[in-house]
Amino acid sequence: MAPNVEIVCDEKLDLGEGPHWDHKGGVLYYVDIFESSVFKYDPSTKKVNRVVVDKQNKTPVGFVIPVADTNNKFVIGYRNELAILTWDGISPDPTNVEVLVGVEPGTTNRFNDGKADPRGRLWAGTKAKYHPGEPEVRSGALYSLSKDGKTVKVHATDIGISNGLAWSSDFKTFYYIDSFNRAVDAFDYDIDSGETTNRRTVFDLIKNNVEGFPDGMTIDVEDKLWVATFGGSAIHRVDPVTGSLLQSVSLPAAKITSVAWGGPKLDELYVTSASRFDTEENRHAGRLFKVTGLGTSGGPGVPVKL
């Protein structure tokens, strides 16, 4: 059976990103970066709640991840800072925003994608300001956050656009995307220490004739990666062991930004998209999609442990 693509939220987002499935709550969280907004989508009611984190300055929010063992606290990428957002999931206004730590002061860089590893350790990376067609600037970095939330550790520098993150089922491999590389990289990973070594490319988009830039990413139960392509109108299932393209699913939007498994059986793939910089006639740009009938499943979003 062919995969089925469905629009689950018709609100047009500027730069939808960072889907995170909260399996305990049965809801999906995601962001609209430059609208400084966090969303909660409840599939059981089809209802979407939105909070604008910073109405006055529209501080970009790069990602949102729940804090473990809480009901109303989330770690967000807040321009070049990591912060705790307190939100009841209903109100259009936050209860509180508490900055944990900042990076790269004096720059216009901001946090982009972020995710917790299987132990709940937060990983997040930065990027410089970039508009399509401009020269690529590689001034970002990849960080992990200490368990007390007070310090960060740098794991990679000279990053263009820090993006997708995923871990293998045995926790021994960490997959990572710098979009400018048009590739997916892997590190050997020590889950106990959080150390990364032996960075190498495991999937090359250009060699596999995949259009667009690699963006967000997730992994399925068979340890195959699912990569969203910004400017490629598709998501792609790839084998990081052989470096081969296994499957592609087209979507009715050009700028596909990220993917996350969800649903009661974790076999529904939620997909975010963007309408930012759109010049083509594309009425579905910026929507939230759900893809079913993929014949596989994944894991829930991991909350951050602090």
DSSP per-residue codes, 90-109: S-SS-SEEEEEEE-STTS--
- Is a pLDDT exceeding 80 seen at residue 277? no
With beta carbons less than 8 A apart as the criterion, state whether 143 and 149 touch.
no
Is residue 243, in this structure, part of any structural domain at all? Answer: yes
Averaged confidence pLDDT in the chain: 96
- Owning domain of residue 111: 4-292
For the stretch 36-60, pLDDT in tens is: 999 999 999 999 999 999 999 999 9
Q: 33 in helix, strand or coil?
A: helix
For the stretch 212-233, pLDDT in tens is: 999 999 999 999 999 999 999 9
With beta carbons less than 8 A apart as the criterion, state whether 59 and 77 touch.
no
Catalytic residue among 113, 117, 215, 267: 215
Model pLDDT, residue 279: 64
* Active-site residue, 215 included: yes
Token readout for 157 is 């520098």
What total of structural domains would you count in the chain?
A: 1
Model pLDDT, residue 281: 59
pLDDT band at 135 (very low <50, low <70, confident <90, very high): confident
Q: What is the CATH number of the domain that holds 287?
A: 2.120.10.30
Is residue 171, in this structure, part of any structural domain at all? Answer: yes
Q: What is the mean pLDDT of residues 86-100?
A: 97
Q: What is the mean pLDDT of residues 87-97?
A: 96
- Is a pLDDT exceeding 80 seen at residue 181? yes
Number of H helices and E strands in the chain, helices first, is 0, 24
Is residue 297, in this structure, part of any structural domain at all? Answer: no
Of residues 276 and 30, more confidence is placed in: 30
Strand partners, 229: 214, 234
Q: Which residue has the tokens 């730069």?
A: 15
